[in-house]
Amino acid sequence: MEDVRVSVIVPLYNCAPYIEECLGSLKAQTFGDFEVLCVDDCSTDDSLAGAKAAAADDPRFRFFKLEQNRGQSAARNVALDHAHGTYIVLLDADDYFVPDALEKLVARADRQNLDDLYFSAQAFYESKELFGLVREEYGNRPAFEEVATGKELFAYFEEHREFLPHAALRMVKRSLVEQHRIRFFEGIIHEDVLFTFQTLVHSQRSSYLNEPLYMRRIRANSTMTAKRTIANVRGHWVCVREMRKWVSAHAEELEDRFLRAASRRMVDYALVAAHIWFEEVDEADKAAYLDELDPAEKLDFYTEVVYPGAALRDLEDDIRTSRTYQVGNALLGVPRRVRDHMRGEKAYREERG
């Protein structure tokens, strides 16, 4: 598989019901010069066997199995260590590509000599209840046909409030990843946030293909829909901490536009962590997590997560108890609920045909 154009990385963990559709979408690609690296993270179902059966005798598919469960980051890193492609793309085992995805990505990346190419997705939901729980909309991102540095493109999307950290929604040159020794941070969830940031800051030629090439399944018990725990807080906070380290180390050479965008992004992630901390984590887990932090880390965590989150909650409580808010919310509540219900019904019907 030397000199293959694209390496597709597919981590496997208890995804047996979906793996045939996922790998089938790769075998159906109109572009054939790729390899697929499937890494099983000690699944307790038949994910690996199902993946091998789906690949059949196709030599482009290679399989690896971790000796112990280490998480998606570790599985992806094993695949990166064995990849040969000019470009890297990531595909979650419960999702799939449209048939011409790789063809369009490679054509655009080659034509513009890109280090990094973002693209769009379409979410589909396994149930109407999930649509009400988690809504992912990708159609609002503005088109971007030009070539920019990764930092410039990041700032552009952030200014439109449409930056998405999903590592699977971009194709990146393997040489960029290897040159800067970038790997997924192991031991956390939400690792996409940090990997995307670490690669985009080094890209000199980035762009965005505004087409839904990736079909993203919203299902029960995934990272996005499962009950959130201290692991979610830890994942977001590690990403904020590592992003801040890089920005602080390079602040003198960064443009103000990027500094503002990066700062806002880090604040957003920190406030997400704060919301989970206050609303969904029990006191015992909070205490155990704080015990893991050294004094300097604890100071940063209090300063950037806990107390900004507490201040925001207090502000929201003050607004909700105001007479103006109560009257306005009462007037708008019924039409808002009707609108949301209608949107949910329409989207669910469209996805189910």
pLDDT tens across 154-206, in order? 999 999 988 988 999 999 999 999 999 999 999 999 999 999 999 999 999 99
pLDDT in tens, 223-264: 555 678 999 999 999 999 999 999 999 999 999 999 999 999
The DSSP bridge partners found for residue 64 are: 39
The string of DSSP letters for 265-284 reads HHHHHHHHHHHHHHHT--HH
pLDDT greater at residue 323 or residue 15? 15
Q: pTM of the entire structure?
A: 0.86
Q: For the ranges 18-27, 46-55, 140-149, 242-251, which has the lowest average pLDDT?
A: 140-149
Euclidean distance between CA atoms 55 and 19, whole angstroms: 10
Cβ neighbours of 279 (radius 10 Å): 10
Quote the longest CA-to-CA distance of the chain: 69
Among 177, 180, 192, 172, which Cα is nearest to 87's? 172
Give start and end residues of each alpha helix (H) in 124-250. Answer: 128-133, 150-159, 174-179, 191-200, 230-250
Contacts of 315 (CB under 8 A, 6+ apart): none
CB count, 10 Å around CB of 226? Answer: 12
Mean local confidence (pLDDT), 122-146: 73
Question: For 6-218, CATH number?
Answer: 3.90.550.10
CB neighbour burial string for 89-128, b if at least 16 within 10 angstroms, e if fewer: bbbbbbbbbbeebbebbbebbeeeebbbbbbbbbbbbeee
The DSSP bridge pattern shows strands 206-218 and 116-125 to be parallel
What is the average pLDDT value for the chain, to the nearest integer?
88
SS3 96: strand
Contact 146, 210 (CB under 8 A): no
Q: What ranges do the domains of the chain cover? A: 6-218, 230-320
3-state secondary structure at position 205: coil
Which pLDDT value is given to residue 131?
Answer: 57
Whole-number pLDDT of residue 338: 47
**Tokens 């994942």, located at residue:** 235
**Stretch (H or E) spanning 135:** none
Could you tell me which residue, 232 or 322, shows the higher pLDDT? 232
